[in-house]
Structure formats: structure tokens, C-alpha cells
Amino acid sequence: MENLKINKKSEQTTATYTKGGYRVEITYNVDKKTGGNIESINMSIYGDANGNYLGNANASSNGSELTYNISGVPQSKLSEVSALIEEVNSAIAANIASEAAE
């Protein structure tokens, strides 16, 4: 979770996740009625030495899990970016769980 930096918390939380040359700018919403389930996530993904924009990933809850749409990501980076998205999702879930425990 040390890679996830919360920038602002409110109804909509903004955060930045960095790892190995990638930077992900994140906005996510939590459904307060369900005790902290993620309602939606929007990610802008930047990579390479120059921090160029690679694409985005958006997720929304279908009631039981998040459904992701990934766009603009080059095929050569798809597996790396998919793993990065999973890490971001896990970091957000861990952060929400730790806040709920406080």
C-alpha cells in the first residue's frame, strides 16, 4: 500500500499510485450504504521515462464485482498495465478496509 498516496478524500477520493516508472492518477467512489464497497474507479495511466499518457481504465460495480473498461493502452503494454490495474484495485481495497477499521 506504500505506493498509493491519497491526495484528497470526500465523496470522491483522488489518489496517485506509482510503481516502476508507471504513474496512475485515480478517482474513486465508495458506496457508503454497503459499508465501503467500491462503486467506481477512473484511472489515467502514465508510463515510460517521459511519463507519457498510455491510456485509461474505468471500472464500475455491477452489484457483485467491478467491471473494467481499458482503452488506449498499446497491446505491447497490456499485460503490464493489467497487472498494475489489479495492484491499484488491491491497494484501494486495502486502504478502504484500514479506514473502516479505524
Q: How many helices (H) and strands (E) does the chain have?
A: 1, 6
Max mean pLDDT range (20-24, 35-39, 61-65): 20-24
- CB-CB contact of 16 with 5 (8 Å): yes
Q: What is the pLDDT of residues 46-76, one digit of tens each?
A: 986 678 999 999 999 888 889 999 999 999 9
Give yes or no for residue 26 having a pLDDT over 80: yes
| Strand segments (E) across 1-102 | 4-8, 12-19, 22-31, 37-47, 52-61, 66-71
Task: Report pLDDT for 49.
Answer: 65
Task: Give the residue from 11, 30, 46 showing the smallest Cα distance to 92.
Answer: 30
First to last CA, the chain: 16
